[in-house]
Amino acid sequence: MITNAPRALRQPGRAWALLSASIFLATLAAQAVPKAVLDWQPGLAATEPWRWWTALFVHFSPLHLGANLLGLVLVAMLGLSARVPWPVSAAWFAAWPLTHLALLLQPALRHYGGLSGVLHAAVAIVAVHLLAQRAGRWIGAAVLGGLCIKVVSESPWLGPVQHTAGWDIGVAPIAHACGLVVGIACALVAGFLSRTRPDD
């Protein structure tokens, strides 16, 4: 069950920190691997399912890599400050491949790589968790509302790739939208399972 975890990971924030650090280190290591082996390609999603996971390791420029790693650090700090429990971290882990799988909704996106979709999922997951806590309800609402406004303002329905001033690569807003929706869904499932699990 999603709520069962080794005792060492049950301390609030610990599993989140471990997952964040693992993604950070794996992303750095993956820069030595040819991008075509790891990136998201809808035509290969069924025959090469590892791409569901490895797409977030792929970055197409130093600016892309640096910005996403900074975003990952901020997401790690968000989860730690919210003291998210194990099921919330498990929700993020589940959202990782599902965010990329959701990109099948935009088959014109022939190649995709980067952390941004999964980071949007992570922020949504923490926000939903905070919404369920009396002390953090307003913070969660503000974070989730701000994230929704950001995603809508990017107009992900306009096409698979958009070119934005300040970026040396094309941006795929559909990945941000998929991360938002998948993150909310995974957070709700994790919350439901946490409430319905039997006592230890």
Q: What is the pLDDT of residues 159-192, one digit of tens each?
A: 999 988 888 899 999 999 999 999 999 999 998 8
Angle in degrees, 0-180, between the axes of helices 137-153 and 116-131, rounded to the nearest 10: 150
Q: Is residue 158 part of a domain?
A: yes
Q: Is residue 6 part of a domain?
A: no
Q: Is residue 38 part of a domain?
A: yes
Q: What is the pLDDT of residues 33-70, one digit of tens each?
A: 999 999 999 999 999 999 999 999 999 999 999 999 99
CA distance 168 to 193: 42
Question: What is the DSSP code (8-state) at residue 109?
Answer: -
Mean pLDDT over each residue of the chain, to the nearest integer: 92
Joined tokens for residue 142: 């503000």
Domain boundaries, position 41: 28-196
Q: Is residue 1 part of a domain?
A: no
Q: Is residue 3 part of a domain?
A: no
Cβ proximity of 195 and 173 under 8 Å? no
CATH of the domain at 122: 1.20.1540
Interval 89-107 mean pLDDT:
97
pTM of this structure: 0.92
Burial track 13-38 (b if 16+ CB lie within 10 A, e otherwise):
bbbbbebbeebbeebeebeeeebeeb
Burial track 68-80 (b if 16+ CB lie within 10 A, e otherwise):
bbebbeebbebbe
